Chain A
Amino acid sequence: MTVTDNGVNVQALLDAREALKGAPEAARFTWRATSKWDRGVHSTTTIENFYGLGAEQSHKAKTEFAADHPEVFAAEDNGITPIEYLLVGLAGCLTAGVASVAQNRGIQLRSVTAVVEGNHDIRGILGDPDVRNGFNDIKVTFDIDADASKADIEAIVAQSQKRSAVFDALTNPTDVTVEVA
């Protein structure tokens, strides 16, 4: 018998779910990003620390993300567009979900590719009140090679959306407060 190894420690996740049943406080996480304006529409966002399991936590390393606009927006293109970071988040989250669910179901993955496309009518951000600022819609196309039937693969992808933080954050409204310190 071959052991499924997608590199996901599912047992740890299942154990965490059990442990957190009796400790809802520990389940409260706060993710943080700090952004600094560089010049023009170019900014650099740093992520290093977060809060969870009742204490301050740190990533192994600090990561910096450059955000800018492309040259077709008359900008310098020092980094990807902020709205593209949403695609990064969605792709990363759904892919993590696919690997975890497959691991949990004993399905060996060989390759997982996701193409994420967000349709965006930029007239909204340019001030047209009849056009939405954000994405009009997003399409994710998974190409998965695994030891499983098409129905099983579809079920993994569906379950991954069901448990995805970013899918939820994009498909449901979130209350956002923006203040000046």
Chain B
Amino acid sequence: MGDSVTTVVVGAGHAGLAASHFLRERGVDHVVLERGQVGNSWRTERWDSLRLLTPNWLSRLPGQDYDGDDPDGYMTMAEVVAFIERFAAGAPVRTGVNVTSVRRTDEGFAVDDLRCRSVVIASGACNVPVVPDFGDLGVHQVTPFDYHNPDKLPDGGVLVVGASATGVQLAAELRAAGRHVVLSVGEHTRMPRRHRDRDVLWWMHETGLWAQRYDEVDDLDRARRLPSPQLAGGLEVDLNTLTDAGVELVGRLATVRDGVALFSGGLRNVCSLADLKANRMLAGFDEWAGLTDRVPLEPTRVPAKPRLRLDLGGGEIGTIVWATGFRPDYSWLDLPVLDDRGRLRHDGGVTDIPGLYALGLPVLRRRRSTFLHGIEDDARYVVDHLIRTSRGTFDQSVSEAR
């Protein structure tokens, strides 16, 4: 039998380390188990040019603000890793420990061989790229996990499927590298980088929209499934800038039949929906600021005749980039806490299994939950709850039992 500890945190990304920050502050003995190195996903599962979507001045972790000389810039992945590494100082992290099982025990949980009273799942929301299965398509296929830069892709055109943050960024980068790019656009969240000369995230932050609590959101299920906004760290990228750059927009990839990709004829509608929602958000910012004039976005320009078919064997496309989203991996969790769609059931990070918590999931407790600066409130709440409801530390209860 292995050793024991009061709390096990699974994952040493910013979420797990934020939990550790508050657990240390409250004197709860714990370990943070990390399959790779601190900030592993940021190190190994991101493309080369990616920058954080949040401006530096807003990139904070509990007790640690950005202290560089470019507050309006956006961190590179190396900078994010360094920022998280600095935050990890003093945290009881065990790296290279891949959790394969979490079970219930009489006294709490067993995380592989390690017994504990409580577990904080902070293993991330984006562990597995979601890729539709259309069988062998006869072209090179990559997910954002395999994609590094345009030079690493085989020659030829690229079909980018998905127009959320990942899809628009990769489409822009591939087009700038001279590739022929077709972008398949389904429902998406349009968000201009700047509104009235301020970063859109300044508005989200200052108006309080970003701090909106999960139990105040109208349709929480929907908010948690919302596609990531069409943002990039720095440059302005939306469907119009992509069209100007020569990217061809097509509708959602509906299916592949006989080697031909078939796209939905509903492109105009998903663009209208996104335009309307984005303008509503900006109008809300203006109202908050007491401004009566409006600066609506240029409507998304949809091609007069969007293509409905693309022959994947015709030589036009050499690679498909699946920017179709991610899902968490809970294959190691042997607890009845997933819903029928494989999502973790939780109420603001508190699951219905006493002692089992989650952090770092979309709109966990606030709209900003998955952003760096969004973790502080969530982690503090979860750790408070964990301490309030636990009946003492593991060692105490074991000695009491004796």
How would you classify the secondary structure of chain B's contact residues: helix, strand, loop or mixed? mixed
Residues 126-181 (chain A) with a chain B CB within 8 angstroms:
137, 151, 154-155, 158-159, 161-162, 167-168, 170-173
B254 CB contacts on chain A under 8 angstroms:
172-173
The listed residue (B266, B276, B279, B305) touching A172 by CB distance below 8 A is B266
> Nearest chain A CB to B329's CB is how many angstroms away?
25
The listed residue (A158, A170, A173) touching B276 by CB distance below 8 A is A158
**Are B276 and A155 in contact (CB-based, < 8 A)?**
yes
**Are A151 and B276 in contact (CB-based, < 8 A)?**
yes
The listed residue (B265, B272, B305) touching A158 by CB distance below 8 A is B272
B257 at the interface (CB under 8 A from A): yes
Chain A residue with Cβ nearest B273: A158
**Are B276 and A161 in contact (CB-based, < 8 A)?**
no
- Report how far A171 CA is from B251 CA in the complex, Å: 9
- Report how far A155 CA is from B187 CA in the complex, Å: 15
B251 CB contacts on chain A under 8 angstroms:
171
Instruction: Specify which of A159, A162, A168, A171 lies most central, judged by the most chain B CB atoms within 10 Å of its CB.
Output: A171
The listed residue (B187, B262, B265, B276) touching A154 by CB distance below 8 A is B276
B264 at the interface (CB under 8 A from A): yes
B255 at the interface (CB under 8 A from A): yes
- Report how far A158 CA is from B269 CA in the complex, Å: 6
- Report how far A154 CA is from B275 CA in the complex, Å: 11
How many residues on chain B are close to A (CB under 8 Å)? 17
A158 CB contacts on chain B under 8 angstroms:
269, 272-273, 276
The listed residue (B187, B255, B273, B305) touching A173 by CB distance below 8 A is B255
- Report how far A154 CA is from B262 CA in the complex, Å: 27
Convert B229-268 into 0s and 1s, putting 1 for each residue whose CB lies closer than 8 angstroms to a CB of A: 0000000000000000000000110110100001011100
> Nearest chain A CB to B101's CB is how many angstroms away?
30
**Are A161 and B266 in contact (CB-based, < 8 A)?**
yes
- Report how far A161 CA is from B266 CA in the complex, Å: 9
A137 CB contacts on chain B under 8 angstroms:
265, 305
**Are A171 and B264 in contact (CB-based, < 8 A)?**
yes
> Nearest chain A CB to B357's CB is how many angstroms away?
25
Residues 273-296 (chain B) with a chain A CB within 8 angstroms:
273, 276, 279-280
How would you classify the secondary structure of chain A's contact residues: helix, strand, loop or mixed? helix
Instruction: Specify which of A151, A158, A162, A170 lies most central, judged by the most chain B CB atoms within 10 Å of its CB.
Output: A158
The verdict on A170 contacting B265 (CB below 8 Å), with A137-B305, A151-B279 known, is: yes
> Nearest chain A CB to B293's CB is how many angstroms away?
15
**Are A173 and B257 in contact (CB-based, < 8 A)?**
yes
- Report how far A93 CA is from B187 CA in the complex, Å: 20
Chain B residue with Cβ nearest A132: B308
- Report how far A168 CA is from B187 CA in the complex, Å: 13
A173 CB contacts on chain B under 8 angstroms:
254-255, 257, 262
> Nearest chain B CB to A19's CB is how many angstroms away?
16
**Are A154 and B272 in contact (CB-based, < 8 A)?**
yes
B276 CB contacts on chain A under 8 angstroms:
151, 154-155, 158
Residues 126-183 (chain B) with a chain A CB within 8 angstroms:
none
The verdict on A171 contacting B257 (CB below 8 Å), with A137-B305, A151-B276 known, is: no
**Are B272 and A171 in contact (CB-based, < 8 A)?**
no
> Nearest chain B CB to A124's CB is how many angstroms away?
15
A167 CB contacts on chain B under 8 angstroms:
266, 269
Chain B residue with Cβ nearest A138: B265
- Report how far A173 CA is from B265 CA in the complex, Å: 10
Instruction: Specify which of B254, B255, B264, B265 lies most central, judged by the most chain A CB atoms within 10 Å of its CB.
Output: B265
B272 CB contacts on chain A under 8 angstroms:
154, 158
> Nearest chain B CB to A132's CB is how many angstroms away?
10
- Report how far A151 CA is from B279 CA in the complex, Å: 9
Nearest 10 Cβ contacts at the A-B interface: A171-B265, A171-B266, A161-B269, A172-B254, A158-B272, A158-B273, A155-B276, A173-B262, A171-B264, A172-B264
Given contacts A167-B269, A171-B251, 17 further A-B contacts (CB under 8 A): A151-B279, A151-B280, A154-B276, A155-B276, A155-B280, A158-B276, A162-B273, A167-B266, A171-B265, A171-B266, A172-B252, A172-B254, A172-B262, A172-B264, A173-B254, A173-B257, A173-B262
**7 sample A-B contacts, Cβ–Cβ < 8 Å, listed by A number:** A155-B276, A158-B276, A162-B273, A167-B266, A168-B266, A170-B265, A172-B265
